Amino acid sequence: MRKLSMLLVPGLVSMALAAGPMLTSAYAAGSDEPSPPPKSDSSAKKGKKKSSSISDPKFLAAYRTAYTTIYDGHDYTSAIGQLKSLERADVADVADVANLIGYSYRKLGDYQSSKVYYEIALKDDPNHVRTWQYYGLWQLEQGNREQAQYHLNKIASLAGTDSSEYRSLAAALDKPTGATLVY
């Protein structure tokens, strides 16, 4: 039995990691679902290397469950609960988790809670591109076009103007004030 579990667990982790790239096509401008976290966004913090929770099978399974709750079920309230269960001081991917919690609160119209979680994500990882994108969309929803432009410029400096995050926020900024944002 022990031999079987030693073979099964790495195989399941490998399958889950292999499935990740298939999910990367969803991003805020073209879809109503958040993107899964990039593998490298949260791997370094303040110059120190830290291990990603993505290598932890329990974390990966719980994160994917929460992601599916958002992506497939659009059940943001349940996803918030699932993601909050991942909030631990030893989770290396705090920015990824906090960003999705912020996204979920934003989708529920709880802008104050959304802002709190976006700021937690950026405190954990000031270079977390998706948080800059989603927080920029939050800024637009609040009517803060200048702040959204600041977020766009930050994304350009971090990921370039050809990144999906930049294109998404730029497209939203191109819409006239008061236009309905689809993301």
Give the whole-number percent of the chain exceeding pLDDT 70: 63
pLDDT at 127: 97
Mean pLDDT of the chain: 76
Structure-block tokens of residue 151: 């977020």
Residue 103 has pLDDT above 80, yes or no: yes
Give the whole-number percent of the chain exceeding pLDDT 90: 52
Q: Average pLDDT, stretch 93-117?
A: 94
Considering only CA atoms, which of 173, 163, 174 is closest in space to residue 138?
173
Q: Average pLDDT, stretch 79-103?
A: 82
